[in-house]
Amino acid sequence: MRIHVVNPNTTVSMTAKIAEAARLAASPTTTIVATQPEMGPVSIEGYFDEAFAVPGLLARIAATDRGGVSGHVIACFDDTGLDAARSLAAAPVIGIGEAAFHAASLIAGRFSVITTLARSVPAIEHNLARYGFGGRCARVRAADVPVLALEDPASEACARIAAEIERAKAEDRAEAIVLGCAGMADLAARLTAAHGLPVVDGVSVAVGLIECLARLGLRTSKLGGYASPLAKPYGGMFAGFAPQEIGHDPA
């Protein structure tokens, strides 16, 4: 099977890191197709960045969906553009945030989320409540690490994340940790070994869930909110994104 993993920001090195984590998690017969938008922010840190990431993200979803994939993984912990992508794509779409919450809830009574900056906390808390995990998450913590610092080996990013994990164990009584950024995907195994509790990477979990849905032949329902977009004209710079038919590729 082929799984499309899309990094919603435009940083190529982060896409490569995410792709490697996805390939390590995938079955030997699964091909990972990793992409990033041609337009949008270099990192997604808050609601404003998220809004400008969605058009380019949807363009990648449309192009790979029409080319034929078993499913799509949106590799941003905020689950950027997830509902719109599910409406657009024929194949199932999973966000790494929702995937990670489900996985943590299956292996621990309480979990904490460690994300990058404080401005990302409200969006994650909103998603936890929306998905029904508000009672299982002890706390969403910010390590005060800019997303692009995760790309810099000389930064203190890993040490700050590690410190927050220890605080989560002591103060939150967390039994598992969810890493709240796709750029942390390569840290999960190392942090699990160092801190003595499960550390969940949403990229890996989402790939496994897409493989499961594909094997079961399950796709996104097109009844209700995830119905395919209605054909209509769009104005201005978004004219090329106007839905014409299922599988339309916005250029």
If DSSP states are collapsed to H, E and C, what string results for the chain?
CEEEEECCCCCHHHHHHHHHHHHHHCCCCCEEEEECCCCCCCCCCCHHHHHHHHHHHHHHHHHHHHHCCCEEEECCCCCCCHHHHHHHCCCCEEEHHHHHHHHHHHHCCCEEEEECCHHHHHHHHHHHHHHCCCCCEEEEEECCCCHHHHHCCCCCHHHHHHHHHHHHHHHHCCCEEEECCHHHHHHHHHHHHHHCCCEEEHHHHHHHHHHHHHHHCCCCCCCHHHCCCCCCCCCHHHHHHCCCCCCCCCC
Q: How far apart are CA 166 and CA 10, in angstroms?
A: 32
Give the pair of three-digit tokens for residue 34: 């990793």
* 249: pLDDT strictly greater than 80: no
Q: What phi and psi, each to the nearest 5 degrees, are found at residue 229?
A: -60, 145
Percentage of the chain exceeding pLDDT 70: 97
Mean residue pLDDT of the chain comes to 94
What pLDDT, on the 0 to 100 scale, is given for residue 153?
80
What pLDDT, on the 0 to 100 scale, is given for residue 2?
97
What pLDDT, on the 0 to 100 scale, is given for residue 245?
58
What pLDDT, on the 0 to 100 scale, is given for residue 233?
93
Does the domain made of 2-96+205-241 have the CATH classification 3.40.50.12500?
yes
* 156: pLDDT strictly greater than 70: yes
HSE at residue 95, side-chain half, CA atoms within 13 A, is 22
Q: How far apart are CA 55 and CA 84, in angstroms?
A: 10
Mean pLDDT of 115-144: 96
pLDDT tens digit string along 167-207? Answer: 999 999 999 999 999 989 889 999 999 999 999 999 999 99
Per-domain residue ranges of the chain: 2-96+205-241, 97-201
pLDDT category, 248, cuts 50, 70, 90? very low
pTM: 0.92
What pLDDT, on the 0 to 100 scale, is given for residue 124?
97
Handedness of CA 97, 80, 67, 216 (dihedral sign): positive
Q: 95, 123 in Cβ contact below 8 A?
A: no
Q: What phi and psi, each to the nearest 5 degrees, are found at residue 141?
A: -110, 145
Mean pLDDT of 34-55: 96
Is 2-96+205-241's fold the same as 97-201's? yes
The CATH class that applies to domain 97-201 reads alpha beta
